[in-house]
Amino acid sequence: MSTPDPLLTEIATLLDAPAGRDDPERLERTLTDGYARALNLEAEKSRLERRISQMSAAGDEDASAELVDLARRVEAKDGSLGELRALLVRLRQRHSVAARAAART
């Protein structure tokens, strides 16, 4: 059983909250944290892909199990990144609405 991700929990909480009661600063902080996480996931994915390329170029036949593991890890990072990006799009839209509403008051 995996532990819930605090960032994804925070994003879900913000997206599930009633419209019109949003705190633009909280939304912005969460967006910033989300973008930082996305950059981190992209960097990790890139490192894994470089490692796969290096191992493939070396032609080490004994490394096939490690290559499979690396490929699975890349796929997992890609899935996490896609999920996070989709949530961030929704959160960014919510932030835009909240920021406009706050500017009118």
Q: H/E/C letters for each residue in 78-101?
A: HHHHHHHHHHHHHHHHHHHHHHHH
Residue 43 DSSP label:
H
Residue 62 pLDDT: 76
The residue among 80 and 63 whose pLDDT is bigger is 80
How far, CA to CA in Å, does 56 sit from each of 11, 12, 27, 31, 69?
Answer: 38, 40, 43, 37, 13
Higher pLDDT among residues 91 and 21, named by residue? 91
Query: What's the pLDDT tens digit per position in 14-62?
Result: 999 998 889 999 999 999 999 999 999 999 999 999 999 998 888 777 7
Residue type, 50: R
pLDDT value of residue 58: 82
Q: Where are the domains of the chain?
A: 21-104
Q: H/E/C letters for each residue in 58-77?
A: HCCHHHHHHHHHHHHHHHHH
d(CA 98, CA 22): 6
CA 48 to chain centre: 16
Global model pTM greater than 0.85: yes
Q: What pLDDT, in 10s, does the model give residues 6-25? A: 999 999 999 999 988 899 99
Mean pLDDT of all residues in 69-87? 96
